[in-house]
Amino acid sequence: MDICETHENTSKCSVNSMECFMVLSTQAQKISIATLCGLFGILCILENILVLYLIFSSPGTRRKPSYLFISSLALADILASIIFVCSFVSFHVFKEIDFSKEVFLLQLAGVTTSFSASLSSLLLTALDRYLSISRPSEYKLLMTRRRAWIALGVLWVTCATIASLPLLGWNCCTLNSTCSELFPFVDGSYLSSWICLTLLLLGCIACAYTRVLRRARQHVAYMEQHQAPGAKQQSSRMRMDVTLAKTLVLVLAVLVLCWSPVLGLMTYSIFSRLSDRLRRAFAFCSTLCLLNSMVNPIIYALRSKELSASLRMVFSQCRRQLKASEESPEAGSAHKPSVIET
C-alpha cells in the first residue's frame, strides 16, 4: 500500500501504480486463484460450448426465441471466461503490467461487456417467459425470431457501449478524479453507475420471474379446475412453462449468490476505504462470477427437457461410435487369419 499512499492523482494513473492493486502476497494465494480460475474457466467454456451445440444442432430449439436468448447467455459466459481468466491470472498471479492504460481498460471493457450481456440475456429470457405465459395466444406473433435477433443486437451493442465508457474517457486519469480502490484507472462515479445499473437489472429480473411464476401457477390451477376435452394439451404446456420458469428462477438465485459478495464489496469501496484483507477477499470473490457461468449450463441440462433429450441423444451417438470403433479392429483381426491361410 506504500505506493498508493505516497503518490496521489498523478501516480494513480501511471502503470507502475498498478502494483498496489496486486493484493495476492503469498504463493499459496496465487496458486489458489490460478487453480480456481483454471478449473471454473475450463469447465465453463466446455459446458457452454456444449449448450450452444445442443441448441443449434436441433431444429426444434434453434428456432425458438427463448433458446436464442439462452444461447446469448452461453456465448456471453464463454467470452467472459476467456477474457476474465486470461487478464485476471496474468495480473494477479504473474503480475504482468507491461501494457498501457488503454490495454488494461480494453480488457476491463471485454469482461464488463460479457458479464453485463450475460445478466441482460437473463432479463430477456425472463421477459420472454412472462410474455409466453401472460399472452399465450399472441406469443408467436409478438415474439418472432426477427424481433429476438433485434433485441439481442440492441443488448450487445448497449453492453459494449457502457463497458467502453472508461476507455472513451470516463476514467480518473482523463477526469483527474478519485480512482477506485478495486480497479486501476476506473473513476469512482463510473463504478457507482455500473453498480446501480447491475442492481436495477437484478431487480427487474427478480420482478419478472416473480410474475412469471405467479401467472404460471394461476394458469395451472385454472386448467386443473376446469378440465375439458382438448384442454390437456394446454395444461401440459402450462406445466412446461412452470418447469422452465423454475429453472430460470434457480439460475437467478445462483446469479445473486455468486454476484452479491462482489457487488457488496464494490459498494462498500465507494463509501469507505478498503483494507488489504477486504481487497484480497474481493479478488477471491471475483472467481464466483466464473462459478455462476459454470453452473448455468448444468442447470439447463438438468431442468430443460429438450436440451437434456438432445444431450442423451449425443451421448447415445457417441456410445454407438465407440462400439463401432471397438468392433472394427476385431472384425479385421478375424478376417486376417483366413487371408493368411489362403
Cα–chain-centroid distance for residue 231? 38
**Cα radius of gyration (the chain):** 25
Domains, the chain, in order of start with CATH, read: 24-224+243-312 (1.20.1070.10)
Cell numbers at residue 99, please? Answer: 501494457
Cα atoms found within 13 Å of the Cα of residue 145, Cβ hemisphere only:
5
Report the candidate in 16, 177, 277 with the shortest Cα–Cα distance to residue 3: 16
Per-residue pLDDT of the chain (342 residues; tens, 9 = 90+): 343 543 344 345 655 567 777 778 788 888 988 899 999 999 999 999 999 998 888 877 888 888 899 999 999 999 999 999 998 888 888 877 777 788 889 999 999 999 899 989 988 988 888 888 888 888 888 888 999 999 999 999 999 999 999 999 898 888 888 888 888 889 889 999 999 999 998 888 888 888 877 776 776 676 667 665 555 555 555 565 566 667 667 777 887 888 899 999 999 988 888 888 888 899 899 889 888 888 888 876 667 778 888 888 888 888 888 887 777 655 445 444 444 433
Q: Is 187 helix (H, G, I), strand (E, B) or coil?
A: strand
Q: What is the pTM of this model?
A: 0.82
Cell numbers at residue 18, please? Answer: 498498478
